[in-house]
Structure 1
Amino acid sequence: MRNTFTRSVSGSLAAVWLVAVAAFGIGAATPLFAQTDSPVQWVNDSPLSSGDGLAAQFSSDQNIASHPAVRFADGFESGELGANWDETRNRGEALSYVNPSAGDSPQAPSILGRRSLKVTARLGQNTGGGFTKWFESADQLFIRFYTKFDDDCDYVHHFCTLRANKSLRGGERWSGFGGAGELPDGKERFSTAIEPWGNWGRWTPPGRWNFYSYWHTMKASPDGKYWGNGFRPSSQPNIKRGEWICVEFMIKHNRPGKNEGEQAYWIDGELRGHWRGFNWRTSPTLWANALTLESYVTDRWTTQPQNIVYFDNVVIAKEYIGPSAAAR
């Protein structure tokens, strides 16, 4: 199935900085501070699939890890906390496994099984938490998970991030971590995160979906620092709280030094945005190979004392995954 888009907006989240990434043709909008020389362009007529993907073959994601395209899968149905992940950040006991129907929201869909990950961020006690998984990369990667924001959850600071590291071993597997506000080295790191963004409080918490990306040819913010550049469609609905949402995003690596990398994201199987022209890396040994699944909350963005987010049915694959199939 093909999806047609007409326009997009890109901007830095750490400063009011809007950058056009649209192809400035018929139907394209030119936002404030248009950056007409950017190689990153909105894909008007995306060839990417939507709706059902490989997950449609597996009832409630059961045995989905057996699919040859799947690199990693975790529905949190068994094992100790973080048993299938490589690193756990659980300061202040932010993480727990709960029934997916936890909270006051409607009954969770049966596709989520018996357990979900609950992240409870308590101001003054912790900043939330989550898991990190290193995995064997591929030219094109798809990451899909389900999430739910509690009914009174406020804005979050950072969410789920895919990072490129020089290696899967030793200290080099950490080359893609850190570096906030700094221009990445194309041989060392790049990253992209799918996050809710509140547009400086203009949108109802937790906001609207957005990419927050770092790479070596990114644009600087007005303060001269290199905060993540944002990518999102020019219009989309606010994220609903109290409901489970299927989130999926894709990254395609470029040949080193070429402006041909891509990224895209889907919400509940609907393709929301597709961009190409990224020069993610200059080294053939730099690959997106670590996923951090987290809800990170600070008092910079919220005064709500407690902010709860849930996760479930995480899959990393080499092809489009799509929403989980109904239990059979």
Structure 2
Amino acid sequence: MGCGDSAAGSDSAVDSRAATDTGAATDTGAATDTGPRVDTGTPGPGSCSDPAADWLFCEDFEAGGGDFDTWFAASDFVTSKGGDDRGRLNLSEQEPHAGRWSMHMPASPDSGYQGGNLRWFACEGDQRTNCPLRSYDRLHFRAFVRFADDHRYVHHFLNIGGSQPDRFWSLGAAGCLPNGELGMSTTVDHHPNSHESFFYSYFPEMTCSTGCSRYLDIDAQCMQCADKGLPTCTDRQQCCWGNTLEATPAATFPVGRWFCLEMMMQANTPGDHDGTMAYWIDGEPAHQVDNMLWRTSPTLALNRVGLQHYIETSDADGHSNQVWFDDVVVSTEPIGCERF
């Protein structure tokens, strides 16, 4: 994980409706890992042509006839990192999960083996950059995923995040300690080669490191965090990269076939340790962490997701880590794997 990256799920202008990505994993925090146990419930019928009442967003990649630009112009995704490069983002007819098309992130050699990122925002009104944002205390995010047979690595993967409703562009605060007022995020990632999954999360009680002066300018890092109003170096000089919270027992993503991945983030009552994050693989509970304190402000809420397969050239080791996505849904309630 690169120490110079922006915080997982953070945003800044890149493409026509554009965003950036993510952070660097370290230790686990003070939250309680309770193991896989949350029930996703029994979802009712629904599809992108007939969405369930609790669905906020549904994308099956069928619009546009396979032309990325035509599809993106009509999509409710708001930003795309790599959207101007078909070696990073394109629509593919190669074994879609359903229908004719899926989203392919090829990480091609001609594109520096880089991944891509599509971000949805809970816009109030039209889906556009800098929109005012709706606020939610809980979001579910489901995607069907297929890693190539030789897939090895991703820097950061699916993400749910939140900000104040008037902060479309969040702070990009990698290495900074959240204050419970400006932003919150969690990302489902996996370890290289093994594809054993874990949460990568930023939260006010996370574990930080004092050893980062070995590889960066700690004075500059502390000043950057202070300029953003984040209390990272109040007591000591340190870096706060996202914490890694492992699944126990290990929860491994399949490779070479489609699988269903649903993640959920529940914001806490402001100031209380009652937040939760969880994810399911093919409908089975994989990992849950309870007792999270994400926020202290009642107006900090969830309002965005990232369909990302974020890789930089320096991470890729000269290898194309390909992935396909299909039948994506964001909802306030459990989604499950049967509706697409």
Would the aligned equivalents of 1:149 and 1:308 in 2 still touch at CA under 8 Å?
yes
Letter in 2 for 1:219: T
Q: Give the structure-1-normalised TM-score.
A: 0.75
1:233: which partner in 2? 247
Give the Cα separation in 2 of the matches to 1:130 and 1:160.
9
Would the aligned equivalents of 2:36 and 2:285 in 1 still touch at CA under 8 Å?
no
1:115: which partner in 2? 101
CA shift at 1:123, angstroms? Answer: 5.2
Deviation digits for residues 138-189 of structure 1 (CA, Å, limit 9, x no counterpart): 222211111111112221111121121111x5xx1112x5111111221111
Select the residue among 180, 187, 191 that pairs with 1:193.
Answer: 187
2:203: which partner in 1? 215
1:87: which partner in 2? 79
Give the Cα separation in 1 of the matches to 2:151 and 2:187.
19
CA shift at 1:130, angstroms? Answer: 2.1
Letter in 1 for 2:81: R
Would the aligned equivalents of 1:146 and 1:314 in 2 still touch at CA under 8 Å?
yes
Aligned-partner SS, 1:257: coil
Deviation digits for residues 54-104 of structure 1 (CA, Å, limit 9, x no counterpart): 2x523xx34352x11111111111132322211122253311111251xxx
Give the Cα separation in 2 of the matches to 1:53 and 1:221.
42
- Structure 1 residues 264 and 237, CA, compared in 2 at 3 Å: closer, same or farther? closer
Give the Cα separation in 2 of the matches to 1:180 and 1:323.
33
Give the Cα separation in 2 of the matches to 1:317 and 1:272.
19
Q: Give the structure-2-normalised TM-score.
A: 0.73
| Cα-Cα RMSD | 2.4
1:174: which partner in 2? 169
Q: In the TM superposition, what are the counterparts of 1:143-154 in structure 2 within 5 Å?
A: 143-154=141-152
Would the aligned equivalents of 1:148 and 1:244 in 2 still touch at CA under 8 Å?
yes
Give the Cα separation in 2 of the matches to 1:193 and 1:225.
19
CA shift at 1:258, angstroms? Answer: 1.1
Give the Cα separation in 2 of the matches to 1:190 and 1:325.
29
Larger mean CA deviation between 249-258 and 216-225 belongs to 216-225
Would the aligned equivalents of 1:182 and 1:225 in 2 still touch at CA under 8 Å?
yes
Aligned residues: 271
Deviation digits for residues 211-270 of structure 1 (CA, Å, limit 9, x no counterpart): 111112211135331111122323325433211110011111111111111111100000
Would the aligned equivalents of 2:36 and 2:288 in 1 still touch at CA under 8 Å?
no
1:26: which partner in 2? none
Aligned-partner SS, 2:321: strand
2:25: which partner in 1? 14
2:273: which partner in 1? 259
Which has a greater percent of strand?
A: 1
- Structure 1 residues 64 and 271, CA, compared in 2 at 3 Å: closer, same or farther? farther
1:289: which partner in 2? 303
Give the unaligned 5+ runs of structure 1.
Answer: 1-11, 22-37, 102-107, 199-203
Give the unaligned 5+ runs of structure 2.
Answer: 1-22, 65-69, 123-133, 212-237
